[in-house]
């Protein structure tokens, strides 16, 4: 839309009784509950779709054995990860205590060895618990595996969880 019409559109939408304004914090909470990545936080130009759990975005014809295999930036690295698995995987984490875990928190195993880092985290109102997305070493990215996020010098227990954290209620049309 032309920029000079944006204010009029916003005012028209906000005039509707079912429309309420929402800030970036609300958007961030909703996308995290839905398990959706935010560029610059959960994915960037160094993240592969395999690490991020986004292989659905790679057409099968572009994968090894496909009619139009490769031919895109990073194809060799992605093929290798599809064949043998990535070293890191994006996972969901659910807090076992009510302490929110934020972006940048280090994730460790029971012995205190660093195994990953949190990319997004919040206290999720729809779930009623702290949730986060993190990249973990593949051998720790297992369903229900217990890990610990370091928050203000203390280890907070978390459990690897499937995403989305809150079930979606939309359908494809």
Q: What is the pLDDT of residues 145-155, one digit of tens each?
A: 999 999 999 99
The pLDDT tens digits for 129-149 are 999 999 999 999 999 999 999
Rounded to two decimals, the pTM is: 0.85
Percent of the chain whose pLDDT exceeds 90: 86
Which domains, and CATH codes, for the chain?
Answer: 21-48+86-166 (2.40.30.110), 49-84 (no CATH)
Higher confidence at residue 170 or residue 117?
117
153 in Cβ contact with 144 (< 8 Å): no
Mean predicted confidence (pLDDT) in 42-53 = 96
Whole-number mean pLDDT of the chain? 94
Q: Residue 22's pLDDT is what?
A: 85
pLDDT band for 71, please (50, 70, 90 cuts).
confident
Residue 123: exposure state from Cβ atoms within 10 A (0-12, 13-18, ≥19): middle
Q: Rounded to an integer, what distance in angstroms lies between the CA atom of residue 28 and that of residue 54?
A: 19
Local structure of 93: helix, strand or coil: strand
Question: Using CA atoms, how far apart are residues 95 and 64, in angstroms rounded to an integer?
Answer: 38
Give me the mean pLDDT over the 94-115 stretch. 97
pLDDT(171) > 90: no
DSSP string spanning 108-126?
E-TT--EEEEEEEEEEETT
Closest by CA to 107, choosing from 123, 125, 93, is 93
Predicted confidence (pLDDT) at residue 173 exceeds the cutoff of 70: no
């Amino acid at each position: 839309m032309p920029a000079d019409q944006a204010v009029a559109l916003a005012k028209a939408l906000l005039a509707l009784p079912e429309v309420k304004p929402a800030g970036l914090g609300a958007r961030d909470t909703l996308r995290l509950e839905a398990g959706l990545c935010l560029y610059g936080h959960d994915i960037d130009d160094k993240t592969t779709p395999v690490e991020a759990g986004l292989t659905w975005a790679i057409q099968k014809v572009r994968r090894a054995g496909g009619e139009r295999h490769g031919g895109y930036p990073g194809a060799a690295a992605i093929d290798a990860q599809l064949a043998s698995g990535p070293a890191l995987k994006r996972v969901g984490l659910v807090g076992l205590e009510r302490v929110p875990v934020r972006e940048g928190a280090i994730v460790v195993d029971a012995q205190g060895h660093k195994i990953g880092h949190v990319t997004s985290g919040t206290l999720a109102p729809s779930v009623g618990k702290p949730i986060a997305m993190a990249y973990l070493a593949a051998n720790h990215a297992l369903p229900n595996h217990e890990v610990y996020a370091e928050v203000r010098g203390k280890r907070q227990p978390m459990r690897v969880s499937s995403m989305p954290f809150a079930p979606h209620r939309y359908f494809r049309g």
